[in-house]
Chains A and B, each alone.
Chain A
Amino acid sequence: MSVHTFATMGTVVSVRVPDADSASPDRSMALESAIAAVTSAFHALDERFSLYREASEASQIARADLALADASDEMRAAYAESLEWRNRTNYTFTPHRPDGVLDLSGTIKALGIQRAADELTAAGFITFLINAGGDILSSGAPTDGWRVGVADPENGDNLVAAVELSEAFCAMASSGTAERGEHIWRRPDTDTSFRQATVVAADIMTADVLATTIIAGGQEALDQATTNFDVAVLVVKADGSLLANEKFQDLMK
């Protein structure tokens, strides 16, 4: 398996492609240029949407130096998509921080992962896996399948579960309070007994948004996600206990 890694968006992205798929000189070159395109796709999104970069378009909007109506098409499209997810999650997922600042980081990493997959597919790669800071999108499957572990939020070296990704459930994302602290804005009335939520879906945006939504909205959001979406869900509660729907248990087999 050839593995390419690079740092972006405050985390690390790894891309896996089977050795056999990049063995010939021309496929090896195709992979190299696809990885370069993947890297620039992430960097371009980070430069535009990062609130950690003073010069970014997102920071200009946050400072009210730029009105959203005058923002780039890409910014307005990302905002529109976030609003759509806000509606689909009954206002639990939100593109705004409690202080009112527009924060689209909840969808931007998923957008980067999807663009990365598009680049690899366009370059003729069928079997690959992209892992951006623990958010994972797979395509095809190597001989042994794409087996993915879910980290224990109490101790990242331990796993709480392992699943095999499939075509219908090819994307997995987790949200929680483990690595970056309380970075998810919870509604004041949300019960905080959910420590980590992992969602497996047919696309990375759904997986990512719903994982965030479940942490933000607790039990009610979990029930809505498993009822309204075709997703497999595993929740680790603060006391260490687990909740999973039947679809998640099917993926463990």
Chain B
Amino acid sequence: LTLLAIALLLIAGWPLCRALDPEARGVRVAGESLLFGSGATAMILFLLAAFGVPWSRPCVFSALGLVVVACAAFAARRTGPEHGRVEPTGSRAWIVVDIVSGTLVAAHLLFASLERPYEWDYFGIWGFKGHLFYVTRSIPWPILRDVDFAWIQRGHPLFAPLLYDVVAIVSGEWRDRDLGLLTTAFGLAVILIVRGLVAEESAQRWHRSLVTLAVTPAALSMWVGLAEGFLIGFATSGILLVRRGLLRDSPRSISAGAVLLGCAAMTKNEGTAFIISAAIAIVVSHRRSPVIPSRSEESGRGPQAEGHHPDPSLRLGMTLWRRLFCLWPAAAVVAPWIVARRLVHIQTDFLAGNLAQREEHLRNAAHIVHQIFATPVDDHVFWWAAVAAIAFHWRRAGGLERFLVAVLASQLAFDVLQNFLVPWDPDPHIQFSWNRILDQMAALTAFTASMLIVESFGHSANNMADMFLPPPSPAPARHGRADKSGGMAAALQATPR
């Protein structure tokens, strides 16, 4: 029944995906549909509870049906540019890498469903709220402002428990043993979106397979039952869609990403930091974001045939203000929670306590930073290798992937900063959260590092042997176009700085 609930979210999200991101194609549609469907259903539960309507299957399904029909009608009138199908090229042997990625997803599925979630954060915060909401068939707002329930982190956003409630409402019972499947589903959604986005940028099979493999373990959160899996799903996909919008000069893509970033902010407070990080990164990367022509533009189909010039150096991209304005859906999605928090007087941790505590933390800044570096991280090998890869390809990182690098740097700064803002002793806070908080950026970091690595091999490679052939001719770059095989480095070189 949990799988049925996930299938329902996927189906319900399909019209939303068509309406919000009409440019989505291929496997990306499935990933985005699950995320949009989950976000919409959780928001419906939130709004029903806000207006005092008890949750029931007919009520929830009716509201969801209305949203789906409205989005389907809207999507019918809103069609994206016809990009044409990009036929993959290169050796089919790379499917072996895809099988490894698939095996990792299967392993996570087993891991997530072996046993019911056991972390304290599950039965103390996310699971408790979800179970309580399901038992009361609504959100008991008085409990969220009751100091006796301070341990449930009353100020945390509610999408994670609400997603558990969606599964419980569909299946008709609270079965925490199967809730881990949601974590796997969200990880899989990220993987599909990454696969689809890379397929747009490169026709090479090895390129798609390797980036997918790099992102797969990082997208599958090991914190089963916690909000991390949902946050990774919403935030990673949102940032990547914004990146696509910047590269393709597509306001729709940026706005679709912003909707997912809003869902991330409705999942955890770090999601709000992701929205701010995206805005900062748009500003930082504005002058250096090249407009990549779609593959159909390169091959003469689509917009080029309609008179658009494919040369990125001649195409005028969106202004900085327009790009920033495209993020407005993020604010719209998170607004109901901010209003509800005001009306119900729910206090967030970061606003609790007094200024003297923060001054004390600032005086101990060196100790706090030392604690952060001293805290053991599970996948420290991954982090060292990923950071080394980004540093090794610093030219490309500061150019084409400047947006992603700026997002990661900004988000890391926010994650460090939050240790100074907590009203309690930061030492245990760092000890119990730093390892987990880093995981929220792991998929984005893996994507950035792996894109830089595969780009360094050039796009002419069809197989492992071809990797060691000379780089593609710079001739196309002189004319400011991506190379015929979809290389972004050439486009970057041609972009006016």
Task: Tell me, yes or no, whether A binds B.
Answer: no
